[in-house]
């Protein structure tokens, strides 16, 4: 592990553009459950009943309630040291880009300025008929599942299985992967596509891949540096490393 940190120190000394590609594991220490693994959401709930458009059409109340429940958990929780360190690293490097699969909005709440959300954002909603975006002010009240003025059902702005990722967020993420110096891949099993491609694009373009995870993943075999442990513990150590090295970053 010490050897891995030494290697990382060297890599970061010349890095200017950094990408953080994050997944559910980064929010685990905030109390947000991950999807896979022992305590994962998909162990208790079936994705085919909740996370696809047909499920919403068949049982909008169930799906809507599930997202309201998850939203409550997110509102009661806060970004953890991992999100906060990523935000603070903006002070030390020319460009820090976050590409996240998470919908919890924590990177924005932590103060990261460039955040590409590949799977949507639980705080946002839109009408399935006219596409209008909705906050909660202009919804027709008295309905369990809120409706748009046009009569269409309002759904959470989350990318469900079988749906396309937001085009802008995906293509800007591809570009960030192609042009960064280092990509950190944090807390993702990297089994969901096309999001997982982002890490492979960086690797194909000769970028350094640094993985932070509590266990080995699909990506471990191609990672240049592998740091095994909790993101909320490892990232503060990386910040310390960066602070100690005067020659780093913008100064
Ligand atoms: C820690 C830690 C700590 C824990 N510190 N680490 C090729 C083959 C087969 C299928 C497909 C394929 N290509 C595409 C597909 C279909 C599908 C897919 O990928 N399926 C795979 C599962 C097989 N993809 C799609 O459907 C995508 N769309 C698409 O392909 O469109 C094109 C198309 C259109 C029309 C027709 C056909 C195709 C859309 C995918 C949308 C994914 N959405 C979800 C759910 C959102 C709903 C919601 O939130 O309610 O997004 S799935 C779920 O997985 C969620 C996540 O963003 C995503 C990734 O999960 P993540 O973040 O990696 O979490 P986990 O739980 O898997 O891993 C956590 C990790 O953290 C673990 O490694 C832990 O060890 C670690 N960890 N604590 C550090 N403290
Ligand atoms: Zn509408």
Q: How far apart are CA 206 and CA 182, in angstroms?
A: 9
Which CATH number, 2.40.50.140, 3.40.50.1440, 3.50.50.60, 3.30.1600.10, labels domain 33-76+122-158?
A: 3.30.1600.10
| Tens digit of each residue's pLDDT, the chain (251 residues) | 778 999 999 999 999 999 999 999 999 999 999 999 888 998 888 887 889 999 999 999 999 999 999 999 999 999 999 999 999 999 999 999 999 999 999 999 999 999 999 999 999 999 999 999 998 655 555 668 999 999 999 999 999 999 999 999 999 999 999 999 999 999 999 999 999 999 999 999 999 999 999 999 999 999 999 999 999 999 999 999 999 885 544 54
Pick the CATH number of 1-32+79-119+165-251 from 3.40.50.150, 3.40.50.2300, 3.40.50.1220, 3.40.50.10110: 3.40.50.1220
Domain boundaries, the chain: 1-32+79-119+165-251, 33-76+122-158
Q: How many CA atoms lie within 13 A of 229 on its CB side?
A: 13
Q: Do domains 1-32+79-119+165-251 and 33-76+122-158 have the same CATH topology?
A: no
Q: Identify which of 247, 248, 245, 231 has the alpha carbon closest to the alpha carbon of residue 34.
A: 231
Q: Please name which of 174, 11, 173, 25 lies closest in space to residue 93, comparing C-alpha atoms.
A: 11
Protein residues with CB under 6 Å of any ligand 1 atom: 23-25, 28-29, 34-37, 40, 51, 101, 103, 119, 158-164, 187-189, 191-194, 212-215, 217, 230-231
Which residue carries 């994705």 as its tokens? 47
């Amino acid at each position: 592990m010490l050897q891995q940190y030494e290697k990382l120190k060297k890599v970061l000394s010349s890095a200017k553009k950094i990408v953080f590609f994050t997944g559910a594991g980064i929010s685990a220490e905030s109390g947000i459950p991950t999807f896979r693994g022992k305590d994962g959401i998909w162990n208790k709930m079936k994705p085919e009943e909740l996370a696809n458009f047909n499920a919403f059409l068949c049982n909008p109340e169930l799906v809507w309630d599930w997202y309201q429940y998850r939203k409550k958990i997110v509102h009661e929780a806060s970004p953890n040291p991992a999100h906060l360190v990523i935000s603070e690293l903006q002070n030390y490097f020319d460009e820090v880009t976050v590409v996240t699969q998470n919908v919890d909005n924590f990177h924005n709440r932590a103060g990261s300025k460039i955040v590409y959300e590949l799977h949507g954002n639980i705080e946002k909603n839109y009408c399935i008929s006219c596409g209008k975006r909705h906050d909660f002010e202009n919804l027709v009240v008295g309905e369990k599942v809120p409706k748009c003025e046009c009569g269409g059902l309002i759904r959470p702005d989350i990318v469900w299985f079988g749906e396309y990722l937001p085009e802008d967020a995906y293509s800007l993420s591809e570009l960030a992967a192609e042009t960064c110096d280092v990509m950190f891949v944090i807390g993702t099993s990297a089994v969901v596509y096309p999001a997982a491609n982002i890490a492979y694009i960086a690797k194909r373009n000769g970028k350094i891949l640094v993985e932070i995870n509590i266990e080995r993943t699909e990506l471990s075999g191609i990672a240049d540096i592998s740091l095994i442990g909790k993101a909320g513990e490892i990232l503060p150590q990386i910040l310390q490393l960066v602070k100690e090295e005067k020659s780093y970053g913008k100064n």
